[in-house]
Amino acid sequence: MKKSFGYYDMGRIAVHCYLIKNGVRAGASATIRKENLDSALQDIADDELYCFHYPQGDTHVHICIFKHKHVEDIIKRIYKCEDDILSTWCFGKLFGYSEQSIGQCLDYGEEKEPV
């Protein structure tokens, strides 16, 4: 079990690190409480992963976790893009979501039959 910071944040960071370290996802992101940031950063470093973070409101930070340094540039570049179908699809693929899940996020509803 990971170190003693908020159980909810602890579980999310542990799962993200496991999936990234084992190649299931190229990256992941989460919003955690500021007081848990130091413990989260240590756990990420212990798993030999990279991350960056930025404030999200007064009490939370948004953290992005990845294994390969080039993924940081990709994430930061997508964040600069307008929120559209391409950025949503890129994030979905980067964070390991299926085409069906991405389509639902984009509010495409049911998959259409191929023509």
Q: What is the pLDDT of residues 46-70, one digit of tens each?
A: 999 999 999 999 999 999 999 999 9
Q: What is the pLDDT of residues 56-115, one digit of tens each?
A: 999 999 999 999 999 999 988 988 888 888 988 998 999 888 999 898 888 875 555 555
| 101 falls within a domain | yes
Q: Which domain holds residue 50?
A: 7-105
pTM for the full predicted model: 0.79
Q: Which helix (H) or strand (E) holds 38?
A: helix 37-46
Q: Which helix (H) or strand (E) holds 29?
A: strand 27-33
CATH number at residue 40: 3.30.2190.10
**Which tokens is 35 given?**
């007081």
CA–CA dist 83, 69 (Å, integer): 24
- Binned at pLDDT 50, 70 and 90, residue 2 comes out as very low
| 111 falls within a domain | no
pLDDT on residue 110:
56
| 92 falls within a domain | yes
Nearest Cα to Cα of residue 56 among 44, 47, 64, 46: 64
| 55 falls within a domain | yes
| 36 falls within a domain | yes
| 89 falls within a domain | yes
Encode 70-114 in three state secondary structure.
HHHHHHHHHHHCCCCHHHHHHHHHHCCCCHHHHHHHCCCCCCCCC
